[in-house]
Structure formats: structure tokens, C-alpha cells
Amino acid sequence: MKQATRTLLRQYNLRITQSRSLVLQAMLSTKTPLTHKEIHRKILKTDGSISLVTVYRILEAYENIGLVHRHLSTGSFILCSLQGEKGHHVMLSCQDCGTVAECIDKDFCKHEDRIAKSAGFSPKAHLSELIGICSSCS
């Protein structure tokens, strides 16, 4: 079992199991969003053993605690690259290589809030994704 995955699991107060480690490994080894089935297949290919049902259950847990996020445009999963960092996470999806990165901007919420206020809306949470071309592809 990879050490990096144990560390992550411990950080999030999750029981350290083979299956959970395998799911993390599968997601750490790519920057593109993955479906349940893709993660399952990836694990089997690398000689791991896991049931698809377990992948469902693990991803649900990871999503609830914010360890993974759903990619807005596809609904697939990405490992959040900014664990624990406060602030509004913005996804940057590259149309060319498929990579999804996340970034945080301090001022962003302020602008969102201003826009919201002008519509009489009080925002508590935010979802955003920018779709375009990443630095390595341009």
C-alpha cells in the first residue's frame, strides 16, 4: 500500500484499507476526471482487486468529505488538488488534454458576492469551472 495514500486517509480520519488506497492511487495517477467504472478498471489493470460496488461506496464517502470533487461539466470525479485549503475552488478544464486543475483566488468570492447582492441574493457556496486551454497545451 502506497505511503502517500495512507497519509491522505489518516489526514481525513478514514480507516486505512486496501480498497481505499487503491482508489486514491488510481486517482493520483491521472489529472483527468474518472467515472466509477474507469477507476474500477484502472485498479484491476494494475493488479489490484476491488469490487465496483466498493468503488461506489468509497467515492461517495470521499465526495462527502471533500477529498474528491465532481467535475461540473462531466459529472466524473477528480481528486481535489487543494485539500483543506479554504476559499472558493475553481476548476480549470483543458479542452485539449482533458486535465482538470483547481485553483483558489482570494478576490473571486468578493466579485461573486457583489454580483449576487445586486440580484438580492446571499451566497453561501460556489461552484465554478473554466473551460479552455491549459498552460502546457498553449
- State the residues that interact with a copy of itself by CB under 8 A: 72-73, 75, 90, 92, 94-95, 101, 103, 105, 107-108, 111-112, 115-116, 118-135, 138
Q: Write out the residues near DNA by the rule CB under 7 A.
A: 14-20, 35-37, 49-54, 56-58, 60
120 binds, among DNA, a copy of itself, none (CB under 5 to 8 A by kind): a copy of itself
Entry field: residues in the chain: 138
41 binds, among DNA, a copy of itself, none (CB under 5 to 8 A by kind): none
Whole-angstrom CA distances from 67 to 24, 27, 40, 70, 107 are 10, 11, 18, 10, 24
Residue 102 per-residue DSSP state: E
Least distance (Å) between residue 82 CB and a copy of itself: 12
Residue 85 burial class via C-beta count within 10 angstroms: exposed 0-12, middle 13-18, buried 19 and up? exposed
